[in-house]
Structure 1
């Protein structure tokens, strides 16, 4: 009772939805089909079966009042004086009338006829669980995403902000809030560590300067992008690009994939700024990516790129596609699978001037699987622009080339700041 809806209160309750094990069977998919955006995810279950209809018989006794006019009876009123239950019966196959209504409903909701066909072919005593790829093909789900698309904490960082995000006003009900806070026990240390790990998985952007002594004092710099693509990855990338001003540094990505919408937006931002992109991991010298001394800002951290074990999976390929030059070395690994949101992905790849072969390769792989693309294949479908590795953008010797790459910069002399006042 203490968690029931309060009439006249807009406070709401704290909670977190879990897709794992969630179920939507029988009549539930009919309600689900009414949504504008409809997501299930690979850990939830949605099943259909034959519609069961219960018919209830009722015996009615009427009292009719009429009068005779010119020898003919004219009914004045009819009233039910008694109503008795006369039994009921069930049908385990939908009637033509019900089928017609369901077909019209699904058509109005943009759902394919295959859903109704599957329902008709599944006995009422059974449940046919639909695979995620099947639901996407039928139009029952609108993307391959899970409930996180609508409820994850990160979505409220996106711009524009989703309609279901709301900031709680400060100092509202301060006394009750304080009382509640006093009763909240601190989370266990293990839970705190898990939360830190979860945050650190989100993609982080760090400006890096090559640490190879062969390049000093003129060394290449780049932006390291490590971690999972989320809804606010584009905003973080924009903040990073704003912080470095007009400098155009290549982007070195190492990511398992993540949010498709985030990848699409980040890819467009990459193309807008005409950045080169390569797949590799960045090894930092003197700092740890998860530590505060290596936090993302415009100050360059020492490091080097290694394409061995560099990863770009799933939605990461979308982000890579935004690059002007796109490089994946022979020791880096890139894999693809179907992502859903077919119209958006196809349009994006066309805008990036990448042929339809890449989209076809992605669509040929189930969401639950991965297909690793070899370097020759990536060149063939247009995902990469050449056979080079990340070294073409971050190698120690590139700054000796003529013309010099834009991402090369001579390190300031340690005495530069001391000498500056004297020169003034």
Structure 2
């Protein structure tokens, strides 16, 4: 009996142990490495915004700004439900975030048939420091405002969500950037209550219960494992984007960013189109039956024309097909010409912004092509100003070179400031931005001016470089290479305006294109411009009061010296 009890005690008792195990649990992969170091952007929020730049039938879009987090797709699903059957573009401004969440957003966008764009949104009444202020958002979550391209960005995981758009657009002033995907691993120490039973001298586990977890640190890796690589490749293929984007991503470490040039973004399908100078993020593609005054983009990627043989038996196949192809091409050209803003010879308008009985800002809007008679019209216009030195805001594709020389010399003699900007008249349709109904019959015309969307190309830049000062914001500068016969007078004008003709000639010899776009840093180096408009200012809009800080626009006037009269001695 003693033996039996002893055997029972020795072999049939239960052993209770507390054991701890270190588990390494991967959390959702993220391509926002900097997110661990700082969180500059709050989690992404969605706002349905209506354009405040028009009166009726105004476009709407979904503003999507902030970091992409694990719960972003759920919040996006709510905004889609609220949107109903409307197909509103999604305008992204994001530093990235959770990759799996970006996949989820992209698939929802594609399923809903929505367009995407890179841009920022500023709501009416909000300050520059808080462009999406809560005070501007109605109780139903909607707001009024406008979008901008300059400085907007879609980085890291954001391009994956952006890729979901049926149309994916950005402008030359915004940025798309990618880098390596970082997988973050959380180390967790898990404690269990484990019960064993000893049978025949061996431990046999009979129960296990978790009793606690404690964090034990983190680790990360940028190695794209087979599973992650397969998921990324499949997603890009699903969205119609080349897997060459993966090579771009892997070329930049998590603490850097690879800015994708527009040409590469278009080539790989990450973008489907570039915004034109007079288009803005959130502007939707035009429907086939859209009226001329509809605010929309009218240049989707053109499909290859298909020749259809005419039903004429006696004609040869080539002859039968040719008229159909020619008609198709002619219709396409007519549609393209109808979709572009009207061009006209340059005219000059005295513009104002504000209440001129108290304080207002005025400028000369010079918009249109430079023709041989443009200098005469500029001279007549300046005479009406009575010697007032108002800034000249240019918006032009260029034109006659000799006329540009004459305009520049006239502006230099008058000591006027020059800049580039898009002057916007109230209530004018997109295709006729200079509509006569909005021009004042006498006195200045009320309006607004923006650097974004402004352009001064070809010989217009010859006029720009005459300003005292000559300053630009986020606008496009371009210049035509002169012919051999024009070299002498071309560079003589450069010398006259204090611009380095030799430096420009060297730069142009390094390119095979006839028209070169000049970035602002090059324009500053060459002397084509001598200042940059601050981000919080627009061209032409500046008042130099007694408290204004000294700048190119507001030079400090030297105090007149008091010279004692010389005593005369007889």
Q: TM-score range by the shorter chain?
A: 0.3 to 0.5
Larger Rg: 2
TM-score normalized by the length of structure 2: 0.33
TM-score normalized by the length of structure 1: 0.44
Name the structure, 1 or 2, with higher relative contact order (CA <8 Å, separation 6+).
Answer: 1
